């Protein structure tokens, strides 16, 4: 690496001094202004002799002390816990190593950390389907690279490696430290401001009486906070002056030095620049730590003194030009080189054929296709599609009952479940253990018999960000029909639900409701642990709808034709 | 008196210069050592993964005893190598054996779809990349160190101070990357 440890430490202490000096000056001017305004306000204008006393040496000293105190407090509280604050703000969490995508990310981060000569870097995942990545580091030299779920699922391994290389370059060169400090000092408050804007907008759209009175009570308080945050956001803009656009070029160059693959980095940048980068979810004021600004604006993409001063990232086309120059390639061949990802058909769990040595006893009748069939042995029953809910009868007993009620059939059904199971996690509909399977690389629990899926809330978000599998033919038809039935306009009465399901994990009752109002698919959600139960096909329909909203190329085809399997 | 003083100053200057050269070279040499330690760690990981891989493949590849035995043999040899040159040779043989194992595995779709095998393959890919990166880091550091040792005027004193040029570490990649497309426009 071109940067030695001492150089980084030197730059670090420089950054600390500089930013603290900036804070001091900022608060000094703010306090002085406030003081002068207050004095003018209480000034007796009939006595003009008082006006020259606006500035006095003693007052300047007091103002300086106040500014120093406020700046120190601000510094102390903002930089105490930078990594936790920023990752908390972005809702980033450590990778789930059971998940194939997360495992891949962990591996790639480890690989790149080897390339930097063994820097200790941990990785985080942001549960958003936008495409972006960030790097932060703190005083103690802890560093974090975060990647959004969307980026993770939509770029190849070598492209991911290039992106991580870029972020590792920021960490290795020490400039992620300065952006982290600036973001924790000002960016977080800017993000709060964006949050308040969002809340107030939502409030005004909501017509209920109670909310408004609560809003009115908080109104005055909110206004003060708003003003303060506005000033701090202004300071953030000023401080962005000192974040050079050059550091992104430099990080691109170091990333190529680390991974020796300029083409992969340019492909990744191209894909990120073409996709949704998380605006709305990722606060714009935290953009310095990201590989590309979440929000697209003209400033970032233009050149000249003004945009050089105020923007934090250089134009994508310039970055691409430099990288493609290194790879002896051009934009045309880059575009033609990016292929649509091949999709595998939805994975079905294969049923293994049973092996038994003794001759099976054929004594079960099975009600199937509206007629009684049989007699069958238990093995035959199961291979002809026995469910826990199917009606069966044993010749020797002469009673008609459901398969789940017979202990021998229940045991046989249990023996057929592939994959690891836990006896405490049972299907809320079939009462059979759920098997742990990987669906789109994410660990979920699936019922082998009814095809329902139980998944954690964040795991469901992960699945919705991924595009490995194609869809069943009927999924598109059902999804379109559901959307046409205007459930969103006439929501069914969920309070009338009597058959509430039991959560397969914590055993509490589950509530029935829409997944979201934008995706009005009825699912069951555990109130306590947030687990979601999807009946067969529901998750796939949600995937279909989110992917359609996302507008992937998979949908730019004739709607009247059924989707290929 | 004056001559003595001048000689004294010259001696001090030479001593300071020697100190500077020595410290600079020690720093570079430590980086080379660190790079080598990283390679060692990653090679060990690779060796630890192979028994698992062979065990998983064994169940499916009943008629490929020879290929599997070659991999095991190459692994044993690789774990016993000590010097840079020995390791280079042994690891290259191991890479060759693994390549033929994966080539044969193509014929067994069941094996390719096996969850365990997929996870192992991800681990192996990751380890291979780590080896490649560790090697890259090591060779970069060796280049910097060798350049310092061999360039004038440090090359006049480096052998006396006990600094000899280090060897590079060359390995074949397990997956042969397809050459990138080049356009001259």
Q: Out of A114, A263, A327, name the one closest to residue B38 (CB).
A: A114
Question: Exposed/middle/buried for A262, CB within 10 Å: 0-12, 13-18, 19+?
Answer: buried
pLDDT above 70 (res A65):
yes
Distance CA A528, CA B178 (A): 52
Q: Out of B137, B141, B183, name the one closest to residue A329 (CB).
A: B183
pTM, two decimal places? 0.75
Q: What is the mean pLDDT of chain A?
A: 77
Tell me what pLDDT residue A319 has.
Answer: 87
Residues 6+ apart with CB under 8 A from A34: none
Lookup: tokens for B116? 């365990």
Does one domain contain both A182 and A228? Answer: yes
Pick the more confident residue, A293 or A296: A293
Does one domain contain both A57 and A203? Answer: no
**Domain total of chain A:** 4
Does one domain contain both A165 and A61? Answer: no
Using a CB-CB cut-off of 8 Å, the residues of chain A touching B130 are 110-111, 114
Using a CB-CB cut-off of 8 Å, the residues of chain A touching B182 are 328-329
Distance CA A284, CA A281 (A): 9
Tell me the average pLDDT across A501-524: 84
Unique residue bearing structure tokens 């090697």:
B135
Residue A134 placed within a domain: yes
> DSSP letter string over B141-183?
HHHHHHHHHHSTTHHHHTTTTT--PPPP-----SS-PPPPP--
Does one domain contain both A60 and A94? Answer: no
Using a CB-CB cut-off of 8 Å, the residues of chain B touching A329 are 180-183
The answer to whether A99 and B122 have CB atoms below 8 angstroms apart is: no
Using a CB-CB cut-off of 8 Å, the residues of chain B touching A104 are 122
Residue A277 placed within a domain: yes
Residue A528 placed within a domain: yes
Does one domain contain both A201 and A142? Answer: yes
pLDDT above 80 (res A219):
no
Residues 6+ apart with CB under 8 A from A387: A403, A430, A449, A450
The answer to whether A334 and A317 have CB atoms below 8 angstroms apart is: no
Tell me what pLDDT residue A212 has.
Answer: 45
Report the residue of B126, B144, B178 to disrupt the A interface, i.e. the one with the largest count of A CBs within 10 Å.
Answer: B126
Which residue in A has a C-alpha nearest to residue B141's C-alpha?
A1
Tell me the average pLDDT across B65-75: 86
Distance CA B172, CA A28 (A): 62
Backbone angles phi, psi at A121, to 5 degrees: -125, 130
Q: What is the mean pLDDT of chain B?
A: 83
Cβ pair B183:A333 closer than 8 A? yes
Using a CB-CB cut-off of 8 Å, the residues of chain A touching B24 are none
Residue A352 placed within a domain: no
Which tens digit of pLDDT belongs to each residue from B4-39?
Answer: 999 999 999 999 998 988 998 998 998 888 888 888
* Distance from chain centroid for Cα A304: 34
Which residue in A has a C-alpha nearest to residue B31's C-alpha?
A117
Poorest-pLDDT segment among A322-336, A405-419, B142-156? A405-419
Residue A354 placed within a domain: no
pLDDT above 60 (res A51):
no
Residues 6+ apart with CB under 8 A from B56: B111, B114, B116, B117, B120
pLDDT band at A134 (very low <50, low <70, confident <90, very high): very high
Closest CA to A93 of A126, A60, A67, A64: A126
Lookup: tokens for A145? 């690279």
- B35 shares contact with chain A (CB less than 8 Å): yes
Poorest-pLDDT segment among A87-96, A218-227, A332-341, B125-134? A218-227
Lookup: tokens for B139? 């060779």
Choose one of A44, A79, A114: the last residue of a domain. Answer: A79
Does one domain contain both A56 and A110? Answer: no
Tell me the average pLDDT across A439-445: 83
The answer to whether A105 and A95 have CB atoms below 8 angstroms apart is: yes
Does one domain contain both A161 and A266? Answer: yes
User: With pLDDT > 70 as the criterion, what percentage of chain A qualifies?
Assistant: 76
Distance CA A35, CA A178 (A): 32
Q: Is the interface score ipTM higher than 0.90?
A: no
Cβ pair A329:B182 closer than 8 A? yes
Lookup: tokens for A208? 């209920």
Does one domain contain both A455 and A523? Answer: yes
Report the residue of A109, A114, A418, A441 to disrupt the B interface, i.e. the one with the largest count of B CBs within 10 Å.
Answer: A114
Q: Out of B119, B133, B141, name the one closest to residue A114 (CB).
A: B133
Distance from CA of B79 to the nearest CA of A (A): 21
Residue A346 placed within a domain: no
Cβ pair B181:A337 closer than 8 A? yes
Q: Could you give the 3-state DSSP secondary structure of residue A423?
A: strand
Instruction: Count contacts between A and B (CB, < 8 Å).
Output: 57
Tell me what pLDDT residue A509 has.
Answer: 85
Tell me the average pLDDT across A393-403: 74
The answer to whether A263 and A329 have CB atoms below 8 angstroms apart is: yes
Does one domain contain both A470 and A411? Answer: no
- B133 shares contact with chain A (CB less than 8 Å): yes
Q: Out of B42, B122, B181, name the one closest to residue A107 (CB).
A: B122
Distances (CA, A) of A222 to A233, B32, B134: 16, 58, 54
Helix A82-90, helix A175-182: angle, nearest 10: 70
Using a CB-CB cut-off of 8 Å, the residues of chain A touching B34 are 117-118
Distance from CA of A323 to the nearest CA of B (A): 13
Using a CB-CB cut-off of 8 Å, the residues of chain A touching B184 are 328
Tell me what pLDDT residue A144 has.
Answer: 93
Does one domain contain both A54 and A114? Answer: no
pLDDT band at A106 (very low <50, low <70, confident <90, very high): very high
* Distance from chain centroid for Cα B80: 16
Tell me what pLDDT residue A145 has.
Answer: 94
Alpha helices in chain B (DSSP H): 2-58, 65-80, 84-105, 109-113, 115-150, 154-157
Q: Identify the contact set of chain A against chain B, taking CB-CB distances under 8 A.
A: 100, 103-104, 107-108, 110-112, 114-118, 157, 161, 258, 260, 263, 327-330, 333, 337, 438
Choose one of A58, A79, A100: the last residue of a domain. Answer: A79
- B183 shares contact with chain A (CB less than 8 Å): yes
Lookup: tokens for A561? 């034709």
Distance CA A292, CA A167 (A): 11
Pick the more confident residue, B133 or A203: B133
Distance from CA of B134 to the nearest CA of A (A): 6
User: Which parts of A81-166 are beta strand (E)?
Assistant: 121-126, 133-137, 143-148
Distances (CA, A) of A184 to A87, A178, A193, A285: 11, 10, 14, 10
Distance CA A215, CA A222 (A): 9
Its domain, for residue A542, covers: 422-555
Q: Could you give the 3-state DSSP secondary structure of residue A202?
A: helix
Does one domain contain both A312 and A387? Answer: no
Closest CA to A325 of A262, A381, A382: A262
Pick the more confident residue, A400 or A414: A400
The answer to whether A203 and A209 have CB atoms below 8 angstroms apart is: no
- B120 shares contact with chain A (CB less than 8 Å): no
Q: Could you give the 3-state DSSP secondary structure of residue A493?
A: coil
pLDDT above 60 (res A215):
no
Poorest-pLDDT segment among A218-222, A378-382, B31-35, B165-169? A218-222
Poorest-pLDDT segment among A123-127, A222-226, A252-256? A222-226
Cβ pair B129:A111 closer than 8 A? yes
pLDDT above 80 (res A564):
no
Report the residue of B40, B115, B133 to disrupt the A interface, i.e. the one with the largest count of A CBs within 10 Å.
Answer: B133
Q: Could you give the 3-state DSSP secondary structure of residue A123?
A: strand
Residue A470 placed within a domain: yes
Residue A348 placed within a domain: no
pLDDT band at A355 (very low <50, low <70, confident <90, very high): very low
Choose one of A415, A448, A479: the last residue of a domain. Answer: A415
Which residue in A has a C-alpha nearest to residue B27's C-alpha?
A4
Cα torsion A48, A54, A56, A59 to 10°: value is 130
Report the residue of A6, A98, A111 to disrupt the B interface, i.e. the one with the largest count of B CBs within 10 Å.
Answer: A111
Does one domain contain both A430 and A533? Answer: yes
- B102 shares contact with chain A (CB less than 8 Å): no
Poorest-pLDDT segment among A342-351, A369-378, A540-549? A342-351
């Amino acid at each position: 690496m071109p940067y030695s440890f001492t150089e980084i430490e030197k730059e670090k202490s420089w950054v600390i001094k500089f930013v603290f000096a900036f804070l001091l000056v900022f608060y000094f001017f703010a306090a002085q202004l406030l003081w002068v305004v207050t004095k003018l306000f209480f000034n007796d204008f009939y006595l003009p002799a008082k006006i020259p006393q606006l500035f006095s040496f003693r007052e300047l000293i007091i103002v300086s002390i106040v500014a120093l105190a406020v700046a120190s407090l601000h510094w102390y509280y903002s930089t105490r816990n930078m990594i936790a604050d920023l990752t908390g703000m972005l809702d980033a969490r450590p990778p789930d190593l059971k998940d194939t995508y997360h495992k891949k990310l962990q591996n790639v981060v480890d690989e790149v950390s080897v390339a930097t000569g063994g820097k200790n870097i941990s990785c985080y995942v942001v549960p958003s389907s936008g495409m972006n990545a960030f790097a932060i580091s703190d005083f103690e030299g802890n560093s974090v690279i975060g990647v959004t779920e969307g980026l993770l699922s939509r770029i190849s391994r070598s492209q991911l490696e290039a992106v991580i290389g870029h972020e590792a370059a920021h960490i290795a060169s020490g400039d992620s430290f300065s952006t982290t400090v600036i973001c924790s000092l000002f960016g977080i408050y800017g993000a709060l401001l964006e949050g308040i804007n969002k809340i107030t907008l939502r409030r005004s759209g909501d017509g209920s009486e109670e909310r408004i009175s609560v809003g009115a009570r908080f109104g005055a308080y909110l206004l003060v906070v708003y003003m303060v945050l506005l000033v701090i956001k202004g300071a953030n803009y000023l401080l962005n002056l000192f974040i050079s656009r050059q550091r992104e070029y430099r990080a691109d160059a170091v990333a190529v030095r680390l991974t020796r693959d300029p083409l992969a980095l340019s492909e990744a940048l191209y894909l990120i620049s073409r996709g949704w980068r998380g605006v709305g979810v990722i606060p714009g004021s935290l953009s310095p730590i990201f590989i590309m600004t979440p929000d697209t604006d003209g400033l970032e993409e233009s050149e000249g003194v003004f945009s050089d001063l105020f923007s934090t990232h250089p134009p994508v086309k310039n970055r691409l030009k430099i990288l493609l120059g290194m790879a002896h390639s051009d934009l045309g061949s880059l575009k033609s080189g990016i292929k649509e990802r091949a999709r595998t058909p939805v994975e079905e769990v294969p049923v293994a054929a049973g092996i038994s040595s003794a001759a099976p006893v054929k004594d079960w009748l099975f009600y199937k296709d509206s007629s009684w069939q049989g007699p069958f042995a238990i093995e035959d029953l199961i291979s002809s599609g026995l469910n826990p809910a199917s009606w069966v009868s044993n010749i020797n007993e002469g009673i008609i009952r459901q398969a789940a009620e017979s202990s021998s059939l229940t045991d046989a059904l249990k023996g057929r479940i592939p994959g690891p199971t836990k006896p405490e996690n049972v299907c809320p509909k079939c009462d059979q253990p759920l098997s742990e399977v990987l669906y789109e690389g994410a660990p979920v629990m699936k019922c082998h018999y009814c095809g329902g899926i139980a998944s954690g809330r964040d795991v469901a978000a992960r699945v919705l960000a991924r595009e490995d599998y194609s869809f069943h033919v009927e999924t598109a038809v059902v999804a379109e029909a559901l959307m046409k039935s205007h459930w969103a306009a006439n929501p069914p009465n969920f309070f009338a639900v009597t058959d509430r399901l039991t959560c397969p994990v914590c055993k509490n009752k589950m509530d029935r409701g829409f997944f979201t109002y934008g995706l009005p698919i009825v699912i069951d959600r555990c109130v306590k642990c947030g687990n979601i139960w999807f009946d067969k096909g529901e998750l796939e329909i949600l995937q279909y709808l989110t992917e359609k909203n996302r507008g992937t190329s998979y949908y730019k085809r004739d709607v009247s034709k059924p989707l290929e399997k | 008196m004056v001559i003595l003083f001048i000689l004294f100053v010259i001696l001090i200057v030479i001593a300071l210069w020697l100190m500077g050269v020595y410290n600079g070279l020690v720093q570079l040499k430590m980086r080379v050592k660190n790079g080598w330690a990283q390679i060692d760690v990653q090679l060990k990981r690779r060796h630890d993964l192979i028994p698992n891989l062979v065990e998983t493949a064994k169940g499916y590849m009943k008629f490929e005893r020879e290929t599997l035995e070659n991999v095991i043999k190459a692994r044993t040899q690789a774990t016993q190598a000590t010097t840079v040159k020995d390791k280079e040779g042994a690891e290259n043989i191991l890479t060759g054996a693994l390549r033929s194992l994966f080539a044969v595995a193509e014929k067994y779709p069941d094996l390719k779809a096996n969850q365990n095998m997929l996870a192992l393959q991800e681990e192996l890919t990751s380890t291979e990349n780590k080896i490649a990166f560790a090697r890259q880091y090591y060779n970069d550091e060796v280049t910097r160190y060798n350049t310092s040792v061999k360039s004038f005027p440090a090359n006049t004193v480096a052998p006396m101070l006990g600094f000899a040029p280090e060897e590079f570490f060359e390995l074949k990649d397990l997956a042969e990357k397809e050459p990138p497309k080049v356009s001259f426009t």
